[in-house]
Structure 1
Amino acid sequence: MNENLCMGCMRDKGEEEVCPFCGYSDTSPRFPSYLAPRTVINNRYVVGKVLSYNGESVTYIGYDVIGERKVKVHEYFPDTLVTRGEDGKSVAVNNGRQIQFKAYMSDFIEIAEKLSRMRTLTCITQVFAICYQNNTVYSILEFVEGISLKTYLEKRDVMLTWTETSDLLLPLVKTLAIVHEEGLIHRGISTDSVILSRSKMVKLDGFAISAVRAARTELVAELFPGFSAPEQYSAVSPHGPWTDVYAVCALLYTCVTAAAPPEALIRSNSRPLLPPRERNETVPPRVSQAIIQGLSLSTTERIQNVEELLAKIGGPFQKGAVGSDAPTVSMRAQPPSRRPTSTLPRIPMEAERKQEEKEEKDGGNKRLILWSMGITLPILLVILIFTFWFLFGKDRHKEPEGDTTSIVDSMSENDPFRGESEFHSSSDRSESESSSSQSSEESSESSESKQMHKVANFVGQDYKTVTGNPENQKLYIFDPPEYVYDEQYPEGTITYQSVSEGTEFEKTMSIKFKVSKGSSTVLIPPYEKKTQAEYTAKLDELGIKYTILYRWDSSYPEGYVVGTDHMVGSKYNTQTGGTIEVYVNKAPPANSVD
Structure 2
Amino acid sequence: MTEINRLCLGCMNEKESDGPCEKCGYSNDAPYLPSYLAPGTILNDRYIVGKLLSYNGEGATYIGFDKVTGAKVTVKEYMPDTLCSRKKGDPQIVVDANRLPLYKTYMSEFVELNKALLKARSMTHIQTVLDIFPQNNTAYVIFEFINGITLKAYLANCSGELTWDRVKELFPPILTTLSLVHSAGIIHRGISPQTILVTEKNELKLIDFQISAGRTTGTEIACEMYPGYSAPEQYSSAEWQGTWTDVYGISATLYRVLTGCVPTESISRLGNDNCPEPMVINRNVPSHVSKVIMNGLKLNTSNRIQTITELVVKLFEQPKFNTAEQEPVRPVQRVRKVETKEEAKPAPTGTKSANAKKKKQNNKIAVIATIIVCAVIVIGFAIAITVLAITDKGNTSSTDPNYYSAPESTTTSSAPETTTTNTTVSSDTAPDIVYGCPTFTGALFTSIQDTYNFVKITAEYKFDDTVANGIVISQSIKPDTEIKSGTEIKLVVSKGPASIKLPDYTGLKVDQYTALLSQKNVKFEKKATSDTHGVKDGYVVKCSKEIGETVNVKDSEKVTVYYAKSGGSSSSSSTSSKTN
Q: Does 1:13 align with 2:15?
A: yes
Give the AA of the match of 2:18.
E
Does residue 128 of structure 1 match 2:130? yes
Q: Label 1:202 to 1:325 Cα distance change in 2 as closer, same or farther (>3 A).
A: farther
Q: TM-score, normalised by structure 1?
A: 0.59
2:405 corresponds to which residue?
none
Aligned to 1:454: none
Structure with higher helix content:
1
Q: CA RMSD in A?
A: 3.4
Hey, what does 1:496 align to over in structure 2?
A: 432
Aligned to 2:493: 544
Judge conservation of contact 1:72–1:143 (CA < 8 Å) in 2: yes
1:321 aligns with 2:383: yes
Shift of the alpha carbon at 1:284? Answer: 2.3
Match for residue 562 of structure 1? 519
Between the aligned partners of 1:215 and 1:559, the Cα distance in structure 2 is 16
Quick check: 1:216–1:235 contact (8 Å CA) kept in 2?
yes
Contact 2:155 2:257 in 1 (8 A): yes
For residue 82 of structure 1, report the CA deviation from its aligned partner. 0.5
Partner AA of 1:128 in structure 2:
L
Runs of 5+ unmatched residues, structure 1:
328-486, 499-515, 525-531, 533-540, 566-580, 590-594
User: Which residue identity does 2:519 align to in structure 1?
Assistant: V
Q: Tell me what 1:586 maps to.
A: 558
Match of 2:287, as an amino acid?
P
Query: Partner residue of 2:567?
Result: none
Tell me the alpha carbon deviations over residues 285-306 of structure 1, each in whole angstroms, 9 at most, x when there is no partner: 2211110010011111110111
Cα deviation 1:373-415 (Å, max 9, x = unaligned): xxxxxxxxxxxxxxxxxxxxxxxxxxxxxxxxxxxxxxxxxxx
| 8 Å CA contact 2:76, 2:142 repeated in 1 | yes
8 A contact 2:120–2:388 mirrored in 1: no
CA contact (8 A) 1:63 1:71 kept: yes
Residues 552-582 of structure 1 deviation map (CA, whole Å, 9 limit, x = unaligned): 45645699633279xxxxxxxxxxxxxxx98
Task: Name the amino acid aligned to 2:303.
Answer: E
**Counterpart contact for 1:7–1:24, Cα < 8 Å:** yes
Given the alignment, which residue of 8, 28, 38 partners 2:30?
28
Aligned partner of 1:169: which letter?
F
Other structure's SS at 1:196 match: strand
Partners of 1:174 and 1:326 within 8 A in 2: no
Counting matched residue pairs gives 384
Offset at 1:124? 0.2
Shift of 1:517: 7.4
Native 8 Å contact 1:550 1:584 kept in 2: no
- Against the structure 1 CA distance between its residues 112 and 583, is the aligned structure 2 distance closer, same or farther, given a 3 Å change threshold? farther
Local SS of the residue matching 1:60: strand
Query: Closer, same or farther in 2 for the Cα pair 1:182/1:521, shift >3 Å?
Result: farther
Residues 118 and 30 (structure 1), Cα distance of their counterparts in 2 relative to 1, 3 Å cut:
same
The question of 1:518 aligning with 2:475 is answered no
1:493 CA displacement = 4.2
Contact 1:35 1:89 in 2 (8 A): yes
What TM-score comes out, normalization by structure 2 length? 0.61
Q: Which residue of 1 aligns with 2:485?
A: none
How much has 1:326 moved relative to structure 2? 12
Query: Is the Cα–Cα contact under 8 Å of residues 34 and 88 in structure 2 kept in the other structure?
Result: no
For 1:256, give the aligned amino acid: L
Task: Report how far residue 588 of structure 1 moved.
Answer: 9.1
CA distance, structure 1, for counterparts of residue 143 and residue 554 of structure 2: 42
> Alpha-carbon deviations, 1:76-122, whole Å to 9, x = none?
00100001156510111102111101110111001110111111100
CA 1:519 to 1:86, structure 2 compared with 1: closer, same or farther past 3 Å?
Answer: closer
**Structure 1 residue 232: Cα displacement:** 0.4
The question of 1:78 aligning with 2:14 is answered: no
Provide closer, same or farther for how the CA distance between residues 117 and 558 of structure 1 changes in structure 2, counting only shifts above 3 A. closer
Assess if the C-alpha contact under 8 Å between 2:457 and 2:491 holds in 1: no
Q: Which has the larger radius of gyration?
A: 1
**Selected match of 1:186 from 168, 185, 188:** 188
**Per-residue deviation at 1:264?**
1.1
Q: Which residue of 1 aligns with 2:70?
A: 68
Contact 1:160 1:255 in 2 (8 A): yes
**Range moving further from structure 2, 310-319 or 127-136:** 310-319
- The percentage of counterpart residues that share the same residue type is 38
Deviation at 1:226, TM superposition (A): 0.6
Q: Cα deviations across residues 336-393 of structure 1 (Å, max 9, x unaligned)?
A: xxxxxxxxxxxxxxxxxxxxxxxxxxxxxxxxxxxxxxxxxxxxxxxxxxxxxxxxxx
Given that 2:16 and 2:22 are in contact with CA atoms closer than 8 Å, whether structure 1 keeps it comes out as no
Counting only pairs closer than 5 Å after superposition, residues 53-132 of structure 1 correspond to structure 2 as 53-85=55-87, 88-132=90-134
Instruction: Summarize the alignment of residues 392-471 of structure 1 with structure 2, pairs less than 5 Å apart.
Output: none
**Greater relative CO, 1 or 2 (CA 8 Å, sep 6+):** 2
Counterpart Cα distance in 2 of 1:281 and 1:288: 10
1:495 CA drift (Å): 4.3
- The equivalent residue for 1:232 is 234
Rounded to whole Å, the distance in 1 between the matches of 2:250 and 2:75 is: 27
- Which AA in structure 2 matches 1:154? A
Please state how far the C-alpha of 1:201 moved relative to its aligned partner: 1.6
For 1:109 and 1:325, locate their aligned partners in 2 and report how far apart those are by CA, in whole Å: 23
2:224 is matched with 222
Q: In 2, distance between residues paired with 1:300 and 1:39?
A: 48
